[in-house]
Chain A
């Protein structure tokens, strides 16, 4: 087989996929890339258009500066090229063209290649790597395809991800043309004529997010795939600086959705009796509860949201109260009293009792109890 044209593929992926993923605007997918090329394409790769690279890096710095004060980012690394190719193939697997005779299995094969790529891609090993990957893939769930339905007096037609020809929309009054545009975000693409189901897509996206944990945490309030604590997200949150970055990215997301996602995921850890992992999640929830308590002193917070959100807030308040009471939080006595007063209503709510019940149910019975 001929050697793939790495330079050509890289140029297309960068200009038509990676750059729009950061900058926004029209994003075009091309032929599926596959695992073999994805793993080899980034070796000493320099993207072709220096002006576009500069523009993209500027936008990435803006993205990064939302969480950390840095002034420059490096060009895409070998791993980031592989991740970008994997994401390209994930998006391309939803192409309606696969939903035809002799092609349906190809979409599933393509996702299998994506999984193979992701298996061979290492997780981030430092915060610079975490932030760099986040700057590339933070807008992953903003990828949206616009499907257009065109109806006229004697017929109708549907165009998925392409603009309808102008002849079909000509003379709108005379031909009674009705054009309906439906935006479809990435996770809704399987419902728009793809050959894969939503569950298979969610599995691949989950594997992808595991390799960019800050993006996973920043978008934890998403509808699908549901957020769950994984090895990389826990490893990030376990460090002080990682927890700070996480808190900052979560500040920009809707509070109720983030609390609900964290509550649901942490409840899963407790039920599975994964206590070591659960304690890492507790630290994050406690930090959020203390931040809430500081804010509540200025403007009392309104408690709203689902049961999971209340669970997360109550769990955070319980842990935070214990930390403040044991003087593990550096503060003055007056401030400590104010914090305890602000934490008390949440820590003694009905949701807090649910938390205690859930922990008691999952904990092993004390020795000699029966």
Chain B
């Protein structure tokens, strides 16, 4: 009886022998695949929607994560990553790591790492997963026959084909928190930001020590639940964040009882100095950046703060000392006085000096029609470089490359940024342009033109607009219908083309046997 049952339903181990290999290599340009959910990506590699790595034990999973995170981040894998403890029909428990396959590049990286740690890589979509490509089959594998099973997973490998049921899901964050950091004394000498956790009694003394030693940092107080049920008050510890701890203090902070030093290992997580986590935590975005998880060595449980409390500058917590109450509060002055005025009015006088830096002109209102006519003759470079401000006193034009190309109006020389005097004139008394600028009380947002009569005119810099935008009158335009878009959206007619039916027109078409093919299930509600 037993013999008959074995012949009908051979165990997976012997199935390949009895029924032949269940995998075949995919050939170049092969387009048809038998495995459901398996397709060919652009490079011709067989790829399903998911990738799966089968690992024999949890330590291999940790090794896989450790190796992978040394070079790559898990950030792009996290949305689709799931880890399960699965159980085969023979009762063995193994680990599966599932990710979205997305591309053969990603799968190649995973497969290389899995091969290194003794895992097998598969690809598929829902239940049936075939072996991912390797050197023997560069385009991957396809299953020649599918296992009829209700199990959650059916894996096809050239060495075995096995079905698995999911026993439970493993949480990556919980796994990382359970892993004990390895002893690594080299981290003591590492520079950079450090977190120092001081017991409640040590905190104020440590803060004062840092203030006295001019060490910058921030501090907050964290609260943890009591260690035992016999205590009713929460445990408070000072958490200090020190950006740059002086070298002379590093050993002190590491060896002083009651003070524990941590090095940040990623956003929201730090590892005790003297230890190193087996997985590169910087590549595992499973910790909340707004919180803080402090992983301790020696097998101690991690300290976790769901949300890092408000941190304050440690200088604000320095000891406060007051002068005696009998001391005078403020030494107030008894009187103030201003220096005597020696000011003289500004004058503008003709000068024989050569003209330099002539960059502005003032065109009186009666000359503006001339400017309009001249605009047709101006070269593009001049128009592009000139800015204009039109005021009731006329138009002011400025050009950084020189205004001589517009031979109209009164030319001005820029003697200071935003300060103009008429070309061929000097101001007296002969003060420095900077002094004159400050004496006029100008602001950087204004341009000041000092006229021949020594009167100053101020124009807001924002009033100057490019001459080319001010010159041209906008023309009315006629909107055109986008015929091209309409044509692109047009639906083509369906033109039915026939092919010959052949000698046996119905071919393989047949009615389903009444009990062989069940009705299709309705859609998911």
Contact = CB atoms under 8 A, between A and B. Distances in A.
10 contacts: A5-B32, A24-B494, A25-B495, A28-B499, A32-B505, A36-B510, A116-B511, A125-B525, A126-B525, A144-B495
A129 interface: yes
A143 B492 CA distance: 11
Contacts of A120: 512, 517-520
Contacts of A161: 496-498
Contact of A39 (B37, B497, B501, B520): B520
A162 B493 contact: no
A123 B37 CA distance: 25
Contact of B498 (A8, A36, A96, A119): A96
Nearest to A91: B496
A155 to B, nearest CB: 22
B491 interface: yes
A25 B517 CA distance: 34
Would you call the interface of chain A mostly helix, strand, loop, or mixed?
mixed
Interface centre among A7, A103, A125 (most CB of B within 10 A): A7
Nearest to A117: B512
A148 B451 CA distance: 91
Nearest to A79: B520
Interface stretch (A41-49, A199-207, A224-232, A242-250): A41-49
Interface residues of A, number: 70
B125 A122 contact: no
Interface in A13-47: 20-21, 23-37, 39-40, 42-46
A48 B38 CA distance: 10
Interface stretch (A107-115, A171-179, A265-273, A349-357): A107-115
Interface of chain B, main secondary structure: loop
Contacts of A1: 508
B33 interface: yes
A293 B38 CA distance: 55
Interface of B: 31-34, 36-40, 42, 125-126, 489, 491-502, 505-512, 516-523, 525
B523 A124 contact: yes
A4 B499 contact: no
Give the 8 A-B CB pairs with smallest separation, nearest first: A34-B509, A24-B492, A44-B36, A161-B498, A97-B501, A7-B32, A122-B522, A120-B519
A1 B519 CA distance: 22
B523 A24 contact: no
Nearest to A25: B492
Contacts of A82: 520
A259 interface: no
Contacts of B42: 50
Contacts of B522: 79, 122-123, 125
Given A23-B492, A103-B505, A36 B39 contact: no
B497 A28 contact: yes
Given A7-B33, A106-B505, A29 B492 contact: no
